[in-house]
Structure 1
Amino acid sequence: MDDETPLHQAARAGEEEIAKLLIAAGADVTARDSHGQSPLHHSASRGHLGVVQGADVSVRGRGGDTLLHRAASFSAELIGLLLGAGADLEATDDEGKTPLHAAAAWGGAEHVRILLAAGADMGARTNDGETALHLTAGSPDALFLGFGHESDAKARVLLDAGIDVNARTVSGQTALDRARECNRPAVAEVLLHVASA
């Protein structure tokens, strides 16, 4: 399926023992499927700790994303494991996004909190000049994705940490502009409250 190796399939399914046997037998952990993803990226996207444990934390996907980018979107526990293994907190993908940007767009408030506590640069900008707050303001409600975290909670975490609410993208858009454009009234309300304080 999509040029997946048996290791891709085991990693995606969270079959730790099978994955370990395949790796011990010489399976290539850097093999890419047709989407440019390694088995480790599949594991990180699903929070399968055992498959990722001990892996090369610098492995990148087709778009330049690291395992920490993936974990930042999906698993607080895996974020901790990867940071403990020396994952680069400020690694950027091809769009200039850091793991904090990934957490802000797709993860939960806890993921954002963990990365900030580890020293993530909240002022980091994507190639388009977006901050983590811009990505939070435009992200779909994580409840829709089944994570149980809402974008307004992520915005509060970033704002409490001191992120610049008035930062503008290359095109001049603020996070409030993004929240309005993406119809995120709860985030817009949080941003308006801080901007008027």
Structure 2
Amino acid sequence: MNEFNESLDANVSSTDREHRTALHYAAMDGDVEAVDQLIEAGSNVNAADDGGYTPLHFAAQYLRSEVITLLIAHGASLEAEDRWGNTPLWRATFSTTEDGAAVMILLQAGADPLHANRSGNSPISLARKIANYPTARLFAHLP
């Protein structure tokens, strides 16, 4: 991510052909330092690409817990929807194969586990259908 560090004077709102910003890629890569610098330089934490993915969607999908925490602290929307209606919590639930840290961070921050996507599936229903046991237990206390 050094290329981002060297070019912070450039327009942080610049996008590629999919309308992704440098912040999208830094979040995807889990580069906490680059994410922090891009936010400080004015990058929009809620910028959506052509698929509706925000940096938080990518951080959640790739289970980048530190980046998730940083984005939330700077106002990233917990309920932003991609083109299929999936929220960052839905993406984290779908991707989780470990201890569920990313899911827990999003839940503790107030992400809605009942927010259904366009197919009618919520993070809680997804966890109960396909997630591994450690992920499903994160939702056990919910109706």
TM score, norm. by length of structure 2: 0.74
Report whether the alignment pairs 1:82 with 2:103.
no
1:106, distance to aligned residue in structure 2 (A): 4.8
Q: Deviations over 1:75-124 (max 9, x none)?
A: 3111111111111121111111110233345532211121123x1x3xxx
Paired residues of 1:73 and 1:108 also in contact (CA < 8 A): no
Q: How does 1:7-26 map to 2 (within 5 A)?
A: 7-26=23-42
What is the aligned counterpart of 2:80 among 28, 49, 59? 59
Letter paired with 2:42: G
Q: Is the 8 A contact 2:78 2:87 kept in 1?
A: yes
Who is 1:5 aligned against? 21
CA contact (8 A) 1:73 1:111 kept: no
Give CA-to-partner distance per residue, 1:31-83, whole Å, 9 cap, x none.
22222211110110011012211233222222211111111122311111111
**Structure 1: gaps of 5 or more residues:** 122-197
- Which residue type is aligned with residue 69 of structure 1? W
- Percent identity over paired residues: 31
Find the counterpart in structure 2 of residue 109 from structure 1. Answer: 133
Alpha carbons of 1:28 and 1:105: their partners in 2 closer, same or farther (altered >3 Å)? farther
Offset, 1:10? 0.5
Normalized per residue, the structure richer in helix is 1
The 5-angstrom pairing of residues 112-123 of structure 1 reads 112-117=136-141, 119=142, 121=143
Distance change >3 Å, CA 24–CA 102, structure 1 → 2: farther
| Aligned residue among 99, 106, 118 for 1:94 | 118
Asked if 1:72 is matched to 2:93, the reply is yes
Unpaired segments of 5 or more residues in structure 2?
A: 1-15
Do 2:89 and 2:106's aligned partners in 1 also have CA atoms closer than 8 Å?
yes
Provide the C-alpha distance between the structure 2 equivalents of 1:21 and 1:45, rounded to a whole number of angstroms: 21
- How many residue pairs get aligned? The number is 119
Contact 1:8 1:38 in 2 (8 A): yes
Computing the radius of gyration over CA atoms, which structure comes out larger, 1 or 2?
1
